[in-house]
Structure 1
C-alpha cells in the first residue's frame, strides 16, 4: 500500500511567516483593545454598555428565548470545547500522529493557561444588572467561551482540511465561524460579558493558534505535514474503497471467491 498524496497541513516555508503574521496582528490588536479598556475609552465603553443593555432588556422580556440562549452557551462552553480538542489529541496519539497530537493538546492547555493569566492580570468586572438573567463570578476579560470555541473550531477545521475537497472545506469553515460567532454572542445576550470581552477572546485565540503552530514547526520542521500524511494513510484509503465499491456496485468480497 502506498501513501496517498494529500495537501500538507503545513509547509514550513509558508507556515512560519503566516503564523508570525497572525500572532503579531492578533497581539497588536489585543494590546490596543486592552489599552482602550483600561483607559475606559468613551466610544468603546458606550458600545459595550449600549449593546449589553439592549440584549438584557430583550432577555428579561423573553424567558423562553433566554433559556435557549443559555442552552447554546452551555453546549459551547469551555469544558465542551476542551474535551473535543482533547479527544482529537488522544485519537491522533493512538494512530501515531504524535506531532499533531501534541499540537492539539498544546492548543488546549496553553489556551487555558493564557486565559487565566489574562483574566487575573486584567481583573475586569463583568456587566452588572439588578435583575440578571445569568451569573458568572470570575473576571470577564477575555471571554473564556469565545477563546476556547475559537481555538477548538479552528484547530478541528485545520485537522479536517486535508481530507476534504474545496467545497467541504468552505462548508466546514463556515460552520465553524458560525459556531464561534454564536457562542460569543450568547455571552453578551446573557449579560455576563461585554462585547469587547468576546472580541478579546477571539484575538487571544489567534495568538495561541499561531504561536503554538509556529513553535512546533520551529521545533520539528515538517512534522505536522508528515503526520497529516500518516493520518491520511490510516483513514482515507478505507473511505475511498467504500465509496468506490458503492459507486461501481461491485461486491467487495468478489475477489475472494
Structure 2
C-alpha cells in the first residue's frame, strides 16, 4: 500500500456521491422543516417527551448542568466556532495559499449565520418553557444556531485539513474533536431545556447541507487551485 493512503485523510467522495449526499441532506432538511412548521403532532409529542425527561435530569443533576452550561456558552458556542473559522481564513490569507478558498470558507460561514436567522424568523417556533429553568436563550427555536454553526465550522475545518493533506494522527484527532463538538453541543442544548430535539436535528442537517454544497461547488468551479502548492510539498 502506498504510504499516502495510510497517513492521509480519506479521499473526497466522487462528484456523484457528493451530489447524492447533498440531495439527501436537502430532502431531509425540507421534510423536517415542513413537519416543524405545520406542528406535526407525532413529532411535537416526541419532542415534548424527550425535552421533559432531559429537563428533569438537568434539574436533578446540577453538576452535569453546570458543565453543560460552560461547554455550550464558552466552548461550543457560535461565537467561538466563528472565531475558529476566522482563524483558519486568516491563516490561509497570511500564508498566501488560496485566497479563493479562504473567501469560500468565510462566505459559507457568513451565509450559515444569515440562513439560520432567516429560518428562525420564518418558522418562529417557541422555545420550551419550564417552571424551573436551568438556562435561558433568546430568539426562536428552529433551527438550533449552536448545532448548525458547530456543524458548518467543524465540517469546513475538516475539509481544509483534507485539502492540505493532514497526517493520520492530526486527521483522526480533528475528526474526533469535531464529532464530539457537534454531537455534544446538540445534547447540551436539549439538556439545558432551551431547544427541542428536532431543533438540534434541524441544525445538524442544515449545517451538513451547507458544507456539502460549499465543498461540491468549490470543487466544481475552482478545481486545481491548490495543485501547485501540493506539488511543492512533494518534491
Question: TM-score, length-normalised on structure 1?
Answer: 0.79
Aligned residue number for residue 164 of structure 1: 167
Structure 2 CA distance for partners of 1:175 and 1:41, relative to 1, 3 Å: same
Structure 2 CA distance for partners of 1:104 and 1:122, relative to 1, 3 Å: same
The 8 Å contact of residues 51 and 193 in structure 2, kept in 1 or not, is answered as: yes
Range 168-177 or range 64-73, more displaced: 168-177
The 8 Å contact of residues 98 and 227 in structure 1, kept in 2 or not, is answered as: no
- Measured in 1, the distance between the counterparts of 2:146 and 2:195 equals 10
- Measured in 2, the distance between the counterparts of 1:17 and 1:123 equals 35
Aligned residue number for residue 84 of structure 1: 84
Question: TM-score, length-normalised on structure 2?
Answer: 0.86
Range 103-112 or range 209-218, more displaced: 209-218
Aligned residue number for residue 107 of structure 1: 108
- 1:1-257 equivalent positions in 2, closer than 5 A: 16-74=15-73, 75-96=75-96, 97-161=98-162, 162-165=165-168, 168-223=170-225, 225-226=226-227, 229=230, 233=233
The 8 Å contact of residues 148 and 203 in structure 2, kept in 1 or not, is answered as: yes
Deviations 1:101-128 (A, max 9, x none): 1222122111111111111111111111
Shift of 1:227: 7.3
What secondary structure is seen at the aligned counterpart in 2 of 1:107? helix
The 8 Å contact of residues 103 and 213 in structure 1, kept in 2 or not, is answered as: no
The 8 Å contact of residues 120 and 139 in structure 1, kept in 2 or not, is answered as: yes
* Structure 1, gaps ≥5 residues long: 238-257
The 8 Å contact of residues 106 and 212 in structure 1, kept in 2 or not, is answered as: no
Deviations 1:16-39 (A, max 9, x none): 434322321111001111122223
Structure 2 CA distance for partners of 1:228 and 1:71, relative to 1, 3 Å: farther
- Measured in 1, the distance between the counterparts of 2:10 and 2:108 equals 16
- Measured in 2, the distance between the counterparts of 1:25 and 1:227 equals 34
- Measured in 1, the distance between the counterparts of 2:31 and 2:20 equals 16
Deviations 1:69-123 (A, max 9, x none): 1001111000000110111011101111212212221221111111111111111
What secondary structure is seen at the aligned counterpart in 2 of 1:139? coil
After superposition, the CA RMSD in angstroms is 2.7
Residues matched between the structures, number: 227
Aligned residue number for residue 243 of structure 1: none
What secondary structure is seen at the aligned counterpart in 1 of 2:140? coil
Aligned residue number for residue 252 of structure 1: none
